[in-house]
Amino acid sequence: MLLAIDVGNTNIMAALFEGDEMAASFRMTTQTPRTSDEFGIMLTSLIRSNGYDEKQIDAVIIASVVPVVMHALINASIKFFGTRPLVVGPGTKTGIRLIRTNPAEVGPDRIVDAVAALAIYGGPVIVVDYGTATTFDYFTADGAFEAGVTCPGIMLSLRALWSGTAMLPEIQVKDPGTIMAKNTETSLQAGILYGKIGEAEYIIDRLKAESGVDPETIKVVATGGLAATIADATDRIQYLEPNLTMYGLKIIYDRNK
């Protein structure tokens, strides 16, 4: 079995693949520092809780935007699963061409998402990832990374409000039903949700307009923890795939094995 791991700034997502099928997925917080033993024990526990055994793992692939965890995570893979992981980075065969930027500056998660979006939906494509940051990446039909837009994430924006003000409460991110807010809670919900919808629609429209290709040919795929909340409220997002990164890691592993 293949264990695919995506290390984000907030969460570590992982999935088990049996052949081409995703057999299970799970997540844990990106707490640092952790030792290789702590990583190994947590991963094996999560694997067992999903009905599998760590002895079934014969390959591991990792994409990470948190370099500080990698030494321990790589050693955990070697110690607990008996395999050195494939780490997505410069030199990894992905099929994505970084022609207008320094490859070292592009987060591997953005490349992994693009690999899956292009393979599943085709290009040209805009990949919107609602993570700690919200990113909008445009890729051509032949896999060239043309543009990337980075915005504060939904929860990051809310935490900035909560930490920077004395009287604003923590809220659940959901549609208040109207922008005509009548109290503090719905005012915050309207500001965050409708503001992020407006952000998505404007950036997607602008990327399409400046792409130089027929806007109707450009697909838009969204992923990430709160992607469904935005995707349900706008017609700009055509496809929603919560496991886009996991599928991308599986495709990259297959291209490199």
Task: Write out the catalytic residue numbers.
Answer: 109
| Contact yes or no for 207/191 (Cβ under 8 A) | no
Positive or negative: CA dihedral 48, 53, 56, 60: positive
Cα separation, 143 vs 122, whole angstroms: 9
Cα separation, 162 vs 22, whole angstroms: 38
| Contact yes or no for 127/223 (Cβ under 8 A) | yes
Say if strands 59-64 and 86-87 run parallel, antiparallel, or are unpaired.
Answer: parallel
SS3 (DSSP) at 222: strand
- CB-based contacts of 232: which residues, under 8 Å, 6+ apart? none
Question: Can you say how many angstroms the Cα of residue 99 is from the centroid of all Cα atoms in its chain?
Answer: 22
| Contact yes or no for 57/1 (Cβ under 8 A) | yes
